């Protein structure tokens, strides 16, 4: 058999941790770059909604969303400690080495959405993958019509990317609405689930010619879908990104295979129409 | 009894209804032959590391009376030697005339001493998937069914066993406890530790139920308003225990399955003088704290 | 395809030829009872190679896609990390591989090398692999109770994807068919001779006969099952029935010549060195889909069984890989303690369809 040489898709490249920023409880943002500038430049071609595989020495590898937009300078992950790999990442100090490969997955087709309204609905750390799209959309502001952000968190302390939130709240080009399940720390904003924001006085959710990005815990997802459909959204205009246990990121290990799709290569971004056809819980 | 010699036996982890650990502490000398540093080996004064399955020629007898021969497939790493050789060496050091060269020699001697093993030479065992005893010189193929010809007065007789009288009313204690192995936890799990996939399954059980679990049928749980992972109290006449409920259709209605490795539940509920082989009626309550 | 005739007595000379070319050769050997397995051929065991024997349960795919395989070494020193991929590409041959297993390897080829991301570890081993297929012609020894290659269209004689195919013509003769130039190159050995039309006719006659010796099986309904699964017509209850019988041992995947799933694990091999290995994994196990944090989208056993059969039988995946992930070897049926190997599942699907048949005539 004669086959052309092929690169090793499982081989991660060395990355250096530059700095760590606390976001909320158990969640930190890790700024990093590849040791090799050429790798860094190649990686920077990623699309919003893609993900990378992160290797921690002696522990293993895990898939992580890419919260930065390709239009930003720095590369970083925002990660909550949930398992052994994420815990190991949280142990790292600036200057420490780990390894990354990617980017993987389809990502959000942001160019296809040119000329449309964008509605972002995020619950808790569901904002991590959507942050990339929001920053991207704002960097190409003239390409899109209205941009609305609806963001829910358990308490005011669970709101992440605070600098961005402040900026979005102030910005004229974007309508940003926040809500919490339980008020605390002198919170004066909305209290209630994220869907309650849609019905708030003064809020008018764009429905026609609109793409809704939804990301959050499974229960929030189900309720938001209901609310959006009640507003008149069609399944094909609701997009989300799925999470699955995965080992390879390149459609080989089989763990993330659901319905007729490998989440890692056919996803992680799917329309709600596609998600229903996959026939598995979110 | 002052000394105990245990060959590939791990009562601390496998004898579920006694207190092997405490008993072992009473001995002046405990010798353990095993492949792994088992729970029992922790109590040994001398541990003799023995060869693993596949590293030696060895025969074993299963509970269907089948004597099987396992051939050596690979070499042991330096150190461990077959268990029979360790026993023979100690014997020789103590002045016995135990000059076996191979496991087959040991088997031949077994055949001389144990009449129903007289035909079970390694050569004979190697010809099939083992022979069932009695396997004698005149019945070298072994015996599939005992007393098949109906002869002799030693046939097994089946007699009805009186149903043990319950000391409590089934109304008050409607569930029956069943003890057994959990799918991904056998004994000390020494073998599972060496399989990445099985180790993952076991770890997940512990992540989902950090304090262990007891299994309850889905319909029963629904009737009692118990959700998966919730704490439930099992109350028996002899004691009571609290454990997380694992709600699953895999156990039959009316039973509560208690995996062996969830030791605390067992101890608390059985009380002291219980053999564990009796029917154990319990009542299930939601634990509200 | 070019063909040659050789004497039965010379068949193992093919093994010798391959070994002379510094090729590690794996061939099937018999054990006690039905036990058979592939093993490396040495000077000592060469004469014990068996041509006709029950297909070993442990599939030969492991010589290309090992059960456990190291992917890379990762070392740590002076605050840095070095990652070194570890490739092994030994020159190997499988002698006596059955047609179903040849189809299995073809499926692995399509899966690991046929899409956007190619698997370099698989590819390196595969390109150094030589396959000598033996067609199943002896109903007593080659063909088992559970075999259904005729329904899966993979046997009893593979049509492609081998380097060399051997078929016992009886009467002390074998026919060798070359599937690749490398296979044809072997024909220069003196023990091959040209065949006649009579040989070709004999081959055809044997194949016609052998096809009849397969047990009449429910798997004749195989392609209909594929249609029903693809159309999503199977009722949840059927999957639940199948799930109830699954003991979650994963045995079906470990004997399957077409299963590809693996897990990856980093294990410590020194104070500052770990190796990343991949290990076959099984979708029957609950941990296969459980995410860190506890969410498991496929917690119920029947969801996992549904997954396995959908992955193997649906048109979507057959088209995606242009090959099918079930090759009709019947191993899953032989090892399953719950009797939900492929043939039984096909039968359960058939029965369900019969039960919901709405076209039964109504007596008036």
Looking at CA atoms only, how far is residue C265 from chain B in angstroms?
Answer: 7
Which pLDDT does position A3 carry in this prediction?
Answer: 43
Q: Which stretches of chain B score pLDDT less than 50?
A: none
Mean pLDDT of C181-200: 95
- The answer to whether the CB atoms of A57 and C127 lie below 8 A apart is no
Tokens of C82: 């070095």
Cα distance from C32 to chain B (closest Cα, Å)? 6
Q: How many CB atoms lie within 10 A of CB C202?
A: 18
What was the pLDDT predicted at A83? Answer: 86
Q: What is the pLDDT of residue B152?
A: 64
Q: Do A14 and C303 touch (CB under 8 A)?
A: no
Region A139-145 average pLDDT? 94
Token code pair at residue C106? 């073809």
Element (H, E) at B90: helix B83-93
pLDDT at C126: 95
Instruction: For residue C281, list chain A residues with Cβ-Cβ distance below 8 A.
Output: 253-255
Please state, in angstroms and rounded to a whole number, the distance separating the CA atoms of residues C59 and C37: 9
Question: Which tens digits make up the pLDDT trace of C53-79?
Answer: 999 999 999 999 999 999 999 999 887
- Contact indicator for C318, C329 with CB cutoff of 8 Å: no
Contact with chain C for residue A281, Cβ under 8 A: yes
* pLDDT band at C290; cut points 50, 70, 90: confident
Q: Is the pLDDT of residue A2 over 50?
A: no
From the CA of B199, how many Å to the nearest CA of chain C?
10
Long-range contacts of C185-190, Cβ-Cβ distance < 8 Å, separation of 24 or more: C186/C14, C186/C17, C187/C2, C187/C4, C189/C13, C189/C14, C189/C17
Please give the model's pTM, rounded to 2 decimal places.
0.88
Q: Name subunits touching B (3+ CB pairs < 8 A).
A: C
* CA A248 to each of CA A65, A172, C264: distance values in angstroms, whole numbers, following the listed order: 15, 42, 8
Residue of B126, B183, B207 lying closest to C248 (CB–CB): B183
Q: Are C228 and C234 in contact (CB under 8 A)?
A: yes
Task: Nearest chain B residue to C32 by CA: give it.
Answer: B128
Q: What is the ipTM of this complex?
A: 0.88
Q: How many whole angstroms separate alpha carbon A126 and alpha carbon A241? A: 9
CA dihedral over B148, B150, B156, B157, signed as positive or negative:
positive
Q: How confident is residue C118, by pLDDT bands cut at 50, 70 and 90?
A: very high
Bigger pLDDT: B260 or C279? Answer: C279
Residues of C in contact with B204 (CB under 8 A): 286-287, 290
CA distances from C354 to B99, B282, C359 (A): 69, 44, 10
Question: What residues contact C231, with CB distance under 8 A and at least 6 apart?
Answer: none
Q: Which of A222, A248, A254 to mutate to test the interface with C (most CBs of C within 10 A)?
A: A254
Residue with tokens 């540093």: B37
Token pair for C198: 């009579």
> Residues C272-285: what's their mean pLDDT?
93
- The residue behind tokens 């010796």 is C213
Q: In angstroms, rounded to a whole number, what is the distance separating the alpha carbons of residues C298 and B214?
A: 21
Q: What does the pLDDT read at residue A28?
A: 96
- Residue B269 is inside which H or E element, if any? helix B263-270
CB nearest to B204's CB, from C263, C286, C301:
C286
The residue of C29, C30, C32 whose CB has the most chain B CBs within 10 angstroms, and thus the best one to mutate to test that interface, is C32
Distance from CA of A56 to the nearest CA of C (A): 9
Residue A1 has pLDDT above 70, yes or no: no
The two tokens of residue A74 are: 């720095």
CA distance C132 to chain A (A): 15
Q: Which residues 208-267 on chain A approach chain C with CB closer than 8 angstroms?
A: 218, 243-245, 247-248, 250-255, 257-260, 265
- Distance between CA C276 and CA C70 in Å, rounded? 6
Contact (CB<8Å) B197/C282: yes
Closest-CA residue to B284 (of B274, B269, B262): B269
Q: Which residues does chain B have within 8 Å of residue C301's beta carbon, measured at their own beta carbons?
A: 250
Q: State whether residue C111 sits within 8 Å of chain A by CB.
A: yes
Q: What is the largest CA-CA distance in chain C?
A: 89
pLDDT, mean over chain C: 91
Are B253 and B220 in contact by the 8 Å Cβ rule? The answer is yes
Q: Do C287 and B201 touch (CB under 8 A)?
A: yes
E strand residue ranges, chain A: 13-24, 27-34, 51-56, 60-65, 75-80, 97-104, 117-123, 147-153, 175-180, 190-191, 210-215, 238-241, 257-258, 261-262, 269-271
CB contact under 8 A, B201 and C286: yes
pLDDT digits (tens, 9 = 90+) for C207-231: 999 998 888 776 778 888 999 888 8
Give the integer Cα–Cα distance in Å for C15 and C357: 54
| Partner A contacted by C181 (CB < 8 A) | no
Over residues A184-197, mean pLDDT? 88
Alpha-carbon separation of residue C91 from A11, C18, C125, C127 (angstroms): 24, 10, 8, 9
pLDDT value at position C182? Answer: 95
Bridge-based pairing state of the strands C24-30 and C92-97:
parallel
- When CB atoms are compared, the residue of B183, B196, B250 closest to C279 is B196
CA distance B33 to chain C (A): 27
The arithmetic mean of pLDDT across residues C328-343, rounded, is: 93
- Chain A positions touching C264 (Cβ under 8 A) are 60-61, 247-248, 253
Q: What is the pLDDT of residue A177?
A: 92
> For chain C, what percent of residues have pLDDT higher than 90?
67
Mutate to test the interface with C, among B126, B196, B204, B247 (most CBs of C within 10 A): B196
Is the pLDDT at C166 greater than 50? The verdict is yes
Query: What is d(CA A270, CA C105) in angstroms, rounded to the nearest whole number?
Result: 32
Report CA-CA distances (Å) from C19 to C26, C101, C130, C167.
10, 22, 12, 21
CB spacing of C281 vs B126 below 8 angstroms:
no
* CB–CB contact A280 C303 (8 Å): yes
pLDDT of residue B246: 92
The token pair at C253 is: 């995947």
Which tens digits make up the pLDDT trace of A119-133?
A: 999 999 999 999 999
pLDDT of A78 over the 90 cut: yes
């Amino acid at each position: 058999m004669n086959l052309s040489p092929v690169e090793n898709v499982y081989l991660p490249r060395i990355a250096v941790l530059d700095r760590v920023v606390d976001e909320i409880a158990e969640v930190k943002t890790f700024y990093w770059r590849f040791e090799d500038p050429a790798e860094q430049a190649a990686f920077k071609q990623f699309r919003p909604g893609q993900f990378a595989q992160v290797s921690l020495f002696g522990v293993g590898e895990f898939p992580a969303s890419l919260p930065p937009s390709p239009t930003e300078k720095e590369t970083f992950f925002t990660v909550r400690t949930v398992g052994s790999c994420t815990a190991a990442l949280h142990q790292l100090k600036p200057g420490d080495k780990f390894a990354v490969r990617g980017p993987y997955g389809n990502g959000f087709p942001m160019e296809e959405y040119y000329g449309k309204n964008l509605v972002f609905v995020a619950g808790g750390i569901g904002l991590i993958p959507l942050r990339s799209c929001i920053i991207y959309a704002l960097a190409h502001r003239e390409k899109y019509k209205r941009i609305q952000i609806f963001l829910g968190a358990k308490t005011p302390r669970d709101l992440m990317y605070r600098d961005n939130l402040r900026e979005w709240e102030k910005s004229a080009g974007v309508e940003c609405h926040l809500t919490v399940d339980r008020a605390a720390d002198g919170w004066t904003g909305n209290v209630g689930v994220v869907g309650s924001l849609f019905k708030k006085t003064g809020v008018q959710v764009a429905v026609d010619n609109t793409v809704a990005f939804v990301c959050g815990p499974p229960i929030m997802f189900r309720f938001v879908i209901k609310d959006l459909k009640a507003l008149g959204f069609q399944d094909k205009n609701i997009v989300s990104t799925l999470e699955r246990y995965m080992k390879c990121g390149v459609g080989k290990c089989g763990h993330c295979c659901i319905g007729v799709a490998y989440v890692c290569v056919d996803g992680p971004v799917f329309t709600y129409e596609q998600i229903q056809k996959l026939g598995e819980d979110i | 009894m002052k000394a105990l010699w245990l060959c590939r036996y791990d009562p601390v982890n496998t004898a579920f209804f006694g207190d092997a650990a405490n008993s072992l502490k009473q001995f002046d000398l405990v010798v353990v032959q095993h492949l792994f540093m088992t729970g029992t080996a922790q109590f040994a004064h001398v541990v003799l590391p023995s060869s693993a399955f596949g590293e030696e020629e060895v025969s074993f007898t299963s509970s269907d009376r089948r004597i099987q021969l396992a051939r050596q497939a690979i070499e042991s790493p330096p150190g461990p030697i077959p268990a029979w050789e360790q026993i023979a060496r100690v014997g020789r050091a103590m002045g016995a005339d135990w000059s076996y060269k191979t496991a087959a020699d040991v088997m031949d001697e077994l055949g001389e001493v144990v009449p129903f093993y007289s035909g079970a030479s390694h050569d004979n065992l190697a010809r099939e998937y083992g022979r069932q005893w009695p396997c004698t010189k005149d019945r070298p193929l072994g015996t599939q069914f005992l007393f098949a010809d109906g002869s002799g007065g030693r046939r097994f007789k089946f007699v009805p066993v009186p149903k043990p009288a319950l000391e409590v009313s089934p109304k008050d204690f409607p569930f029956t406890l069943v003890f057994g192995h959990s799918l991904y936890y056998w004994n000390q799990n020494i073998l599972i530790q060496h399989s990445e996939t099985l180790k993952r399954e076991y770890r997940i059980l512990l992540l989902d139920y950090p304090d262990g679990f007891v299994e309850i049928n889905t319909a029963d749980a629904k009737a009692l308003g118990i959700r998966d992972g919730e704490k439930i109290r099992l109350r028996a006449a002899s004691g009571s225990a609290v454990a997380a409920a694992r709600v699953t259709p895999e156990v039959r209605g009316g039973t509560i399955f208690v995996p062996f490795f969830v030791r605390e539940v067992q101890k608390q509920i059985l009380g002291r003088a219980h053999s564990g082989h009796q029917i154990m009626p319990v009542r299930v309550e939601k634990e509200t704290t | 395809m070019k063909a040659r005739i050789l004497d039965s007595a010379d068949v193992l000379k093919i093994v010798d030829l391959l070994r002379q070319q510094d090729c590690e050769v794996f061939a099937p050997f018999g054990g006690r009872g039905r036990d058979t397995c592939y093993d490396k051929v040495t000077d000592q065991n060469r004469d014990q190679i068996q041509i006709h024997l029950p297909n070993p349960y442990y599939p030969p795919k492991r010589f290309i896609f090992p059960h456990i395989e190291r992917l890379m070494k990762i070392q740590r020193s002076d605050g840095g990390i070095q990652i070194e991929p570890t490739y092994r590409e030994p020159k190997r041959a499988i002698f006596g591989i059955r047609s179903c297993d040849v189809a299995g390897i073809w499926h692995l080829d399509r899966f690991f090398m046929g899409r956007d991301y190619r698997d370099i570890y698989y590819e390196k081993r595969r390109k150094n692999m030589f396959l000598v297929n033996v067609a199943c012609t002896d109903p007593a020894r080659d063909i088992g109770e559970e075999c259904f290659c005729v329904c899966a269209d993979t046997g009893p004689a593979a049509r492609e994807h081998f380097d060399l195919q051997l078929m016992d013509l009886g009467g002390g003769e074998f026919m060798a068919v070359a599937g690749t130039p490398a296979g044809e190159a072997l024909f220069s050995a003196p023990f091959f001779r040209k065949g006649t039309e009579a040989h070709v006719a004999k081959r055809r006659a044997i194949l016609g006969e052998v096809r009849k010796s397969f047990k009449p099986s429910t798997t004749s309904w195989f392609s209909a099952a594929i249609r029903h699964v693809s159309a999503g017509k199977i009722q949840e209850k059927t999957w639940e029935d199948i799930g109830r019988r699954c003991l979650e041992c994963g045995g079906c995947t470990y004997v399957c010549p077409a299963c590809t799933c693996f897990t990856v694990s980093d294990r410590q091999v020194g104070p500052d060195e770990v190796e990343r290995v991949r290990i076959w994994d099984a979708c029957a196990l609950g941990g296969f889909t459980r995410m860190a944090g506890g969410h498991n989208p496929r917690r119920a056993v029947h969801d996992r069984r549904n997954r396995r059969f959908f992955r193997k039988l649906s048109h979507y995946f057959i088209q995606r890989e242009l090959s099918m992930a079930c090759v009709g070897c019947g191993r899953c049926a032989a090892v399953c303690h719950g009797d939900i190997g492929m043939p039984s599942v096909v039968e359960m699907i058939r029965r369900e369809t019969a039960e919901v048949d709405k076209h039964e005539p109504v007596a008036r």
